[in-house]
Amino acid sequence: MASLSEIREEYLQTPPEGRAAFCARYREDPRTGVQALLKKAEKEAAALEKERERTHEMYSFEREYASLGILCGMDEVGRGPLAGPVCAGAVVLPPEKELLYLNDSKKLSEKKREELYDVITKEALAYATAFVAPARIDEINILQATYEAMTQAVQTLCKYLGKEPSALLIDAVHVPQLSRYRQISIVKGDAKSASIAAASIVAKVERDRLMEDYDTAYPGYGFASNKGYGAAEHIAALKRLGPTPIHRKSFIQNFI
């Protein structure tokens, strides 16, 4: 009979998808320590199964439109900040594999977004991001800048993919510049479509990393923490220090 320490080590070495088999193997062991481990493993196995069910639902649009061919999820981040660019993400996920934990990037912790970013960029058939700078946002307005970022992201993705997607799954909007593609607009799509969620996460991580770099270039505004949004610290610094080259002039008129 394996010792409790050996069983505990086996538990620690067992990946989440193997916890159900671990429980079956030691279910008849009467020792209190073993039963406590089984209870924990069973809870984790149940959580994993629940996540698989949620993830399967996140792929419902991908299944519904699979017959169209290559589906590209699209989303943007950074429409609301006072500083920094808007960023669009475009992702083509592998059709044969469902990636767990994909969700609206705003509902995920920074740590989870970073973990998923690594998974997405490794597993995706292709992905791309595109930034449109604050000066351009001031020139053409934020909606048009968002369309421009999305258009650039698709163009870059096509180069990496070596072909064009058959359809675009997009969060809430229809992009006039991409009228050559079939566009499937999904309200709150980043919480309903795996592909859109993946694009949201990629765009969010890359924009956040850029804003952290800007925090070094323009200290005092808290860009590393507020990412350019109108947090109290940011607004106070804006009034005290004035705007930086990455501030959107059309967004900060009420503060300076």
Which sequence spans correspond to the domains of the chain?
Answer: 4-58, 61-241
Class of domain 61-241: alpha beta
CB-CB contact of 131 with 86 (8 Å):
yes
Q: Which two tokens stand for residue 72?
A: 């590209």
Q: What b/e readout covers 158-188, taking b as 16+ CB neighbours within 10 angstroms?
A: beebeeebeebbbbebebeebeebebbebee
Per-residue pLDDT of 214-246, as tens digits, reads: 999 999 999 999 999 999 999 999 999 999 999
Computed over every residue of the chain, the mean pLDDT equals 95
- Predicted pLDDT of residue 15: 85
CB-CB contact of 203 with 195 (8 Å):
no
**Mean pLDDT, rounded, for 8-31:** 86
- Predicted pLDDT of residue 103: 96
CA distances to 134, 209, 232, 240 from 216, in Å: 18, 11, 19, 18
**Mean pLDDT, rounded, for 194-205:** 98
How many CB atoms within 10 Å of residue 65? 17
